[in-house]
Amino acid sequence: MPSVSLVVCLYREKELLERLLQRAAGSYDDLVVVHDGPDTTGVRQVVEAAGGAFYEHPKIGSLEGQSPFAWAQARHDWILRLDADEFPSQEMLSWLDRFRLAEEPGPDVSGYTCFWPLWNGTRAISRRWPGGRIFLFHRQRVRFFGLVEETPIPDGRYEPLPFVLHHQPLRRSLGLRNVLVRKQAYAWRVLIARGLLGRPLDLPCWRWDSEKWPDHWEQIRRHPLQTAMRRLIMETLRNLRSQWRVERRFWLGAALNSPVHHAMICIKYWQLKRKRNREPVVS
């Protein structure tokens, strides 16, 4: 029977973590929480009161950057990968109970995905869009490097499940305000662009041994401005088509979120690369 470690990487978010641990109680066998830099808000006390292991790790500025360290601290190979502003639906909790009592999944199954409904700050406004959120994976069956917005790359396959992972931050999870106004979004774009100037191996890694970037990142490195324009148009259209197919309605702000963000990543990378190329070479 598989055992599950709930692993959470966060920065502050004490109250949200309390909600997550309350809503996810009984669905895991081990709890690991890693704080991005010094904890000044009492997260440690919340984790230790829940019987978990708490770590302050040197600040990186992203949850992805902390993930390889966090996964290494888990007692079990199956990682329940949740953010502090998320919590499982009742259907997902019931499935996790069954999963932990069943036989170990075959080696071709690297993990499982779910639905991740849109949140308008008050309520969920979608049911099954977007999908594909990786919530559970086997750490010896995935590879990963800690770049912002990177997800674990499976050795085998991710099996989609018809369950909801609630994503309920203290703000809206959709709309261009998240991309154009949030300071954190600008900080993440800088981290991504700086990371792309180097190698994946320069980042915190988990079972990753390649100097090459996956295609979706290599496209930015080779043709940043062309990629910005292409993704802005094509990803928006794909999102709108997917919304209609799944929900029979459109959310233009949500459809634009990721494409605009990716376009701005491309532009930031182009700017940093030009700046680096103009710097004088010190002999």
Cβ atoms of residues 71 and 27 within 8 Å:
no
Instruction: Give the per-residue SS3 of 15-57.
Output: HHHHHHHHHCCCCCCEEEEEEECCCCCCHHHHHHHCCCEEEEE
How many structural domains compose the chain?
A: 2
Query: Are residues 252 and 157 located together in one domain of the fold?
Result: no
Residue 254 resides in a domain:
yes
pLDDT at 254 over 90: yes
Last residue of a domain, one of 167, 191, 212: 167
pLDDT at 145 over 70: yes
Query: Are residues 153 and 193 located together in one domain of the fold?
Result: no
Of the candidates 272, 126, 232, 213, the one whose C-alpha atom is nearest the C-alpha of residue 203 is 213
Residue 114 resides in a domain:
yes
| Residue 61 or residue 177, greater confidence | 61
Expressed as residue numbers, the domain containing 218 is: 177-278
Query: Are residues 103 and 13 located together in one domain of the fold?
Result: yes
228 φ, ψ (degrees, to nearest 5): -60, -50
Instruction: Give the mean pLDDT of the chain.
Output: 96
180 pLDDT band, cuts 50/70/90, is: confident
Residue 283 resides in a domain:
no
* Spatial distance between the Cα atoms of 162 and 103, rounded to a whole number of angstroms: 20
Residue 229 resides in a domain:
yes
* Spatial distance between the Cα atoms of 146 and 162, rounded to a whole number of angstroms: 28
Comparing 31-45, 125-139, 180-194, 214-228, the range with the smallest average pLDDT is 180-194
pLDDT digits (tens, 9 = 90+) for 257-266: 999 999 999 9
Last residue of a domain, one of 128, 146, 167: 167
Cβ atoms of residues 88 and 137 within 8 Å:
no
Which residues, 6+ apart, have CB-to-CB distance to 219 below 8 Å? 227
Cβ atoms of residues 247 and 128 within 8 Å:
yes
Query: Are residues 142 and 11 located together in one domain of the fold?
Result: yes
Query: Are residues 159 and 203 located together in one domain of the fold?
Result: no
* Spatial distance between the Cα atoms of 243 and 234, rounded to a whole number of angstroms: 14
Query: Are residues 98 and 214 located together in one domain of the fold?
Result: no
Average pLDDT over residues 232-250: 97
* Domain harbouring 15, CATH code: 3.90.550.10
Query: Are residues 36 and 154 located together in one domain of the fold?
Result: yes
Residue 29 resides in a domain:
yes
160 pLDDT band, cuts 50/70/90, is: very high
Average pLDDT over residues 275-279: 87
Residue 52 resides in a domain:
yes
Average pLDDT over residues 44-55: 98
Query: Are residues 118 and 256 located together in one domain of the fold?
Result: no
CB-count exposure of residue 42 (10 Å: 0-12, 13-18, 19+): exposed
Query: Are residues 75 and 205 located together in one domain of the fold?
Result: no
- Could you say which DSSP state residue 105 is in? P
Of all residues in the chain, what percent carry a pLDDT higher than 90?
92
Cβ atoms of residues 125 and 119 within 8 Å:
yes
Of the candidates 172, 185, 179, 91, the one whose C-alpha atom is nearest the C-alpha of residue 125 is 172
* Spatial distance between the Cα atoms of 111 and 206, rounded to a whole number of angstroms: 16
pLDDT digits (tens, 9 = 90+) for 77-135: 999 999 999 999 999 999 999 999 999 999 999 999 999 999 999 999 999 999 999 99
Query: Are residues 76 and 103 located together in one domain of the fold?
Result: yes
Residue 172 resides in a domain:
no
Q: Which tokens belong to 22?
A: 């309350």
Angle subtended at Cα 224 by Cα 174 and Cα 144, rounded to the nearest 5 degrees: 65
**pLDDT the model gives residue 282:** 54
Query: 3-state class of 85 per DSSP?
Result: coil
Residue 22 resides in a domain:
yes
Last residue of a domain, one of 129, 144, 167: 167
Query: Are residues 28 and 8 located together in one domain of the fold?
Result: yes
71 pLDDT band, cuts 50/70/90, is: very high
Query: Are residues 62 and 133 located together in one domain of the fold?
Result: yes
Cβ atoms of residues 200 and 211 within 8 Å:
yes
**pLDDT the model gives residue 181:** 84
281 pLDDT band, cuts 50/70/90, is: low
